[in-house]
């Protein structure tokens, strides 16, 4: 019972408080919902701690069992840096110069590089893939071409029409398609919300 | 050399040219001004129309990966806010936002350039976990959701926070993010729930999926990646990193177009040979 009924009851009561606060905003419902939201923040922050524990379990296991020595080195390296960063953050605060140095000198350049490296893959990908082989791929090619032209200030500076074409593609073709998707997702979300509230949707409990 | 050979340029050559094209604007910026899009103009106007003393809630919803794109946009928006004497409540719904904040403020320099004072003109609440729960909590009862600021100081002791209690006291919600959940979350929590003027910015690749919110008026303004950031810099008249980055965009995307053309020339040349 404690594994199924109690979580379902908590979900139902929490959901009902949120619904009541929205449709009947009295002081009582507002206060109850405020308390719930603040609990939510605490639980979400706690989940971050669980994330760190999970990292230790997964990479600790990989360090011990991975057949490839490179995997072991990277696993232990991750855990060592995790401990160092956490220790500096907890003992000196994340606003300290030391923590800022770790972030600005190590993590920030690595994170930015990861994103930036996409540029190389996309260039090579466009070169190899964007070929007018079929009608579908020709349409994709033309659209990609116009969007790239419109996206670069250089081409728009040469002729503003490139920018207008891009905007037309975004406003008409892209928005039209995504609006349909959004409406579908919206209706699906309402149904999912009602099913979750009524205990008919239990996927979030981690089992069927 | 047959024309079909131009479709098989060595990978190293393609990549090397990308690197060279990235380096050129760093040495000599092209300085091509972007065309201002309507969505960026709307973002700018939403903030520009505010009166001194009005309140902007600004969310840093990105980390290191998004910093090269959204960092310059944050700097431009905050400069605009401080130049208008607005009160800015800054928060982070992304864990790294708290570490990104000093990087942004080092460039905005609110004290030196605009004479703004921490606690009187702006405040940083730090990272608040929970994404949409955090947004709902902050808009519902700010003092209860974030009782202390980033430095651990009670926000009740900060003069500007005396009159900022909940969504009713906030005029514009502005955010920049790399996460779809955050981008949509502010629409649901700030616009749908409280009908607040909400302006969002994100990476260009997220624009197609989020543009419907702008089209329908849920989002008053929209900043489309680095291009949007460069447009914002142009609007406030302070060219910065976004302008430099769009120079790189100009050259590398031009190279992509050339490669696509070469690839197709090679494809048709090879097909012509097969047919003949």
Do B174 and B150 sit in the same domain of this protein?
Answer: yes
Inter-chain CB proximity A175 and B212 less than 8 Å: yes
What is the spatial distance between Cα B112 and Cα B240, in angstroms, rounded to a whole number?
Answer: 18
CB–CB contact A153 B208 (8 Å): no
Q: B179 and B54 share a domain?
A: yes
Query: Is the Cβ pair A44, B35 closer than 8 Å?
Result: no
Residue A207: what pLDDT? 61
| pLDDT one-digit tens code per residue, B104-141 | 999 999 999 999 999 999 999 999 999 999 999 999 99
The residue of chain B with its CA nearest to that of A130 is B260
Shared-domain flag, residues B90 and B192? yes
CB B200 within 8 A of CB B177: yes
- Residue B65 pLDDT: 87
- Quick one: B144 and B207 in the same domain? yes
Q: Residue A206 pLDDT more than 80?
A: no
Tokens 């949409």 found at: B132
Q: What ipTM was reported for this prediction? A: 0.82
Residue B160 domain-assigned (yes or no): yes
Q: Nearest CA to A41 among B103, B127, B44? A: B127
Q: Cα angle at B133 between B200 and B97, to 5 degrees?
A: 55
Q: What is the pLDDT of residues B135-157, one digit of tens each?
A: 999 999 999 999 999 988 999 99
Q: Which residues of chain A neighbour B63 with C-beta distances below 8 Å?
A: 111
Interface-testing mutation among B214, B257, B270, with chain A (most A C-beta atoms within 10 A): B257
Residue A164 has pLDDT above 60, yes or no: yes
Nearest-by-Cβ selection for A153 from B98, B151, B246: B246
Same domain, B51 and B110: yes
Whole-angstrom Cα distance, residue B254 to residue A57?
47
B15 lies in the same domain as B135? no
B258 and B140 part of one domain: no
Residue in A with minimal Cα distance to B33: A153
Span B60-75, average pLDDT: 94
Say if B11 falls within a structural domain.
yes
B94: left (phi over 0), alpha (psi -120 to 50) or beta: beta
A interface mutation test: which of B253, B269, B270 has the most A CBs within 10 A?
B253
Cα dihedral B23, A161, B242, B213 sign: negative
Give a yes or no: residue B54 inside a domain: yes
Same domain? For B149 and B171 the reply is: yes
Report pLDDT digits (tens) over A122-133.
Answer: 888 888 888 888
Q: Which range (A81-90, A118-127, A150-159, B246-255) has the least confidence?
A: A150-159
Q: State the pLDDT at residue B97.
A: 93
pLDDT at A208 over 60: no
Greater pLDDT, B89 or A104: B89
Residues A155 and B42 sit within 8 Å (Cβ to Cβ): no
**pLDDT (0 to 100) of residue A146:** 86
pLDDT at B242: 92
Which CATH number belongs to the domain containing residue B163 in this structure?
A: 3.40.50
Nearest by CB to residue B259, choosing from A42, A112, A126, is: A126
Q: What's the total number of domains in chain B?
A: 2
Work out the mean pLDDT of chain B and round it to a whole number.
93
DSSP of A153-164: HHHHHH-HHHHH
B117 assigned to some structural domain: yes
Find chain A residues with C-beta within 8 A of B128's C-beta. 41
Instruction: List all residues 6 or more positions away from A150 whose beta carbon is below 8 Å from its beta carbon.
Output: A156, A162, A163, A164, A165, A166, A167, A169
Whether residue B271 is contained in a domain is answered as: no
Chain B residue with CA closest to A161: the answer is B35
Q: A192-196, B20-24, B196-200, B226-230: which has the highest mean pLDDT? A: B196-200
Residue contact A119–B18, C-beta within 8 A: yes
**Does residue B247 share a domain with residue B234?**
no
According to the model, what pLDDT value does residue B247 have?
A: 87
> Over 80: is that where the pLDDT of A15 sits?
yes
Which residue among B140, B209, B260 places its CB closest to the CB of A33?
B140
How many other C-beta atoms lie within 10 A of the C-beta of residue A103? 23
Q: Which of B131, B256, B267 sits opposite A123 (nearest CB)?
A: B256
In which domain, by residue range, is B195 found? 38-238
Q: To probe the interface with A, which of B93, B133, B262 has the most A CB atoms within 10 Å?
A: B133
For the stretch B170-194, what's the b/e string if a residue is b when 16 or more beta carbons lie within 10 angstroms of its beta carbon? bbbbbbbbbbeebbbbbbbbbbeeb
Give the three-class secondary structure for B175: strand
How much of chain A, in percent, has pLDDT values that exceed 90? 45
- Domain assignment present for B182: yes
Does one domain contain both B16 and B94? no
Pair (B129, B160) in one structural domain? yes
Give dist(CA A43, CA B53) in Å, integer: 35
Contact B262, B4 (CB under 8 A): no
B33 and A153 within 8 Å at the Cβ level: the answer is: yes
Sort out which chain A residues have CB atoms less than 8 A from B103's CB and list them: 104, 108
Torsions phi, psi of B177, nearest 5?
-155, 160
A145 and B35 within 8 Å at the Cβ level: the answer is: no
User: A96's torsion region: left (phi>0), alpha (psi -120 to 50) or beta?
Assistant: beta
The predicted-structure confidence for A69-96, as pLDDT tens digits, reads as follows 999 999 999 999 999 999 998 898 888 8
Confidence bin at B1 (pLDDT 50/70/90): low
The answer to whether residues B91 and B18 belong to one domain is no
DSSP state letters, A27-81:
HHHHHHHHHHHHHHHHHHHHHHHHHHHHHHHHHHHHHHH-SSHHHHHHHHHHHHH
Instruction: Tell whether B272 is covered by a domain.
Output: no
- Select from B64, B145, B151 the Cβ nearest to the Cβ of A111: B64
Residue identified by tokens 């946009």 is B73
CB contacts of B22 in chain A (<8 Å) are 119
């Amino acid at each position: 019972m404690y594994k199924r009924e109690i979580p379902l009851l908590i979900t139902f009561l929490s959901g009902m408080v949120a619904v009541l606060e929205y449709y009947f905003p009295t002081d009582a419902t507002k206060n109850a919902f405020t308390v719930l939201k603040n609990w939510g923040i605490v639980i979400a922050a706690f989940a971050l701690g669980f994330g760190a524990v999970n990292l230790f379990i997964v990479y600790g296991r990989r360090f011990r069992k991975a057949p490839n020595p490179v995997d072991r080195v990277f696993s232990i390296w991750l855990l060592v840096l995790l401990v160092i960063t956490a220790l500096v953050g907890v003992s000196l605060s994340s606003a300290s110069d030391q923590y800022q140095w770790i972030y600005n000198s190590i993590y920030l350049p690595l994170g930015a590089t990861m994103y930036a490296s996409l540029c190389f893959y996309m260039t090579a990908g466009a070169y190899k893939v964007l070929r007018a082989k079929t009608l579908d791929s020709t349409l994709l090619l033309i659209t990609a071409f116009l969007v790239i032209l419109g996206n670069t200030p250089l081409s728009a500076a040469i002729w503003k029409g490139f920018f207008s074409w891009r905007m037309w593609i975004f406003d008409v073709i892209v928005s039209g398609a995504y609006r349909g998707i959004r409406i579908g997702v919206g209706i699906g979300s309402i149904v999912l919300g009602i099913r979750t509230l009524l205990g008919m949707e239990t996927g979030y409990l981690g089992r069927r | 050399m047959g024309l079909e050979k131009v479709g098989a340029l060595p990978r190293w050559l393609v990549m090397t040219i990308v690197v060279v094209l990235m380096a050129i604007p760093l040495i000599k910026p092209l300085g091509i001004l972007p065309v201002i899009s309507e969505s960026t103009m709307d973002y700018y106007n939403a903030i520009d129309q505010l009166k001194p003393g009005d309140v902007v809630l600004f969310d840093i919803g990105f980390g290191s990966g998004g910093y090269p794109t959204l960092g310059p946009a944050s700097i431009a928006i905050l400069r605009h806010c401080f130049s208008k004497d607005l009160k800015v409540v800054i928060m982070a719904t992304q864990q790294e936002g708290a570490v990104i904040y000093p990087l942004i403020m080092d460039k905005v320099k609110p004290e030196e350039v605009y004479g703004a004072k921490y606690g009187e003109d702006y405040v940083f609440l730090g990272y608040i976990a929970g994404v949409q729960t955090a947004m709902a909590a902050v808009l519902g009862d700010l003092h209860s959701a974030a009782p202390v600021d980033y430095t651990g100081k009670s926000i009740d002791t900060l003069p500007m926070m005396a009159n900022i209690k909940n969504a009713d006291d906030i005029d514009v919600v502005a955010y920049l993010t790399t996460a779809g959940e955050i981008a949509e979350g502010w629409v649901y929590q700030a616009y749908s729930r409280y009908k607040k003027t909400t302006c969002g910015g994100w990476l260009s690749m997220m624009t197609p999926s989020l543009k419907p919110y702008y089209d329908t008026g849920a989002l008053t303004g929209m900043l489309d990646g680095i291009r949007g950031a460069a447009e914002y810099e142009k609007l406030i008249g302070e060219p910065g990193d976004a302008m430099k980055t769009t120079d790189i965009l100009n050259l590398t995307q031009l190279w992509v177009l050339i490669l696509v053309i070469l690839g197709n020339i090679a494809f048709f040349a090879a097909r012509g040979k097969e047919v003949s």
